Structure 1
């Protein structure tokens, strides 16, 4: 079991220093997301130069703001500077991020994911045959492949996007699919992988594991409530994922959040939702819960994910308490 850590944005802590510490604590990989304020690929380059063995990855880069060619060049470069330790994690992001930040229409996200991943993998391939691609959204002509061995993961939630994983991706990064439903959700991926002539066992399942540890268990649980409320309120895809197990509760959370009542949205996240969607509590409680979660047969590569709104002390305690050296 390769336990990874999605590096949180906490206080003034340098992500590179945090990655070095994660390597010392035995984490198998560190990952960086990207929304606004910092370019994750530049930061990962710095991390690659200061670490030795820990794997690095993007979780996630969106498929709108960089072209497939830029994503492929970025992946090939990070693969070189890390001596083969890089994984490219992609996803659609949300209409809020794509339209309101990048100024682009959130148009045909599933098709864009399909063509982006397909084209990136062709660009990253080897051999003498030059890349020609004629898709619905992208058309490229006459460029040589980069001969870079990089796995491409996709953060998919809905059925159509999970079919993209099944047909093309090396790994799947699910988020906010309740842990008890994760095995069933992957069965859909496996079914369509088989139809596409692929072995489902070749697809790595690397779910986010929202985690918070504190000596005050209630503080840790509340951090997970806030995390769930943010995602359910901010994206309908996340809401639908949570609603697989908690339909009425997900609606209540989303309604409160979109109505401007952030505290009410967090309060609407029930104890059952916290248990099904995250790992939290005192150090010993959280470690026991994490052990239970990663025993799920659908999970290959769990990624500890710390809510960004947590206090610096809680984040640091979580990283320490749930590290492989303490499990």
Structure 2
């Protein structure tokens, strides 16, 4: 069974917009009413980079392609979600960060998940976001990525705006190479999987340098075996990153009593619960956390399977 996840912000009066003069506030005004005109109609004022949107090359490249000139293929198709949720505010993501996460995969549509949408409607959303390095941007070009998505407002450092020595270099590298940038994504944690079908079609705006999109992730039905394998991968990934040691290979890991044997401490336990809930879209109950199952790696995976309906 297919599941659809909305990955775009609602366009509404008062919503955050990038704090520069050329990014107008979103406005919607009702012009016709059922009581008077017998119908409803509204006027909207919206910038080309308002809310969840794409950047066309013309945004930063003189003479670059505009929205109405772009092929449709990059906006629809298989996408891969890459986990950057351990990034700190204002942390630069370099080539090594991508190589460690992407490996040898060829990815046409790469979506970076920071969970930065948790800071939506705060000043931190724009001023402290993690970003990618210029070398990483060149790496993405060499890997022939067609579309780069993110749940941050941009790929550049917030310090590299207009009037600085380095005005938006990452934008220029990516857009010069024809890579579509999909910004202001949200709700990525609800996907619950790394592989999904992306739809992020822009409005067909003549000479458009960008456009708002209705961004959707589609997840195909997953069998119980695949769910269990995904949960095991997530648990192993957590211990590899945060545990005092990695888990043993194969089934030897399942009987490991991770807290009792000191693989993680109580602080790590809290981190594990938070990360697994966010990544897999599940919620542990008090009964789950106090159960005998929760003491071992195999029991933890079994709880995750049950919460996801996979066993």
- TM-score between both structures, scaled by the size of structure 1: 0.32
Bigger relative contact order, structure 1 or 2 (CA pairs below 8 A, ≥6 apart) = 2
Task: Choose between structure 1 and 2: higher helix proportion.
Answer: 1
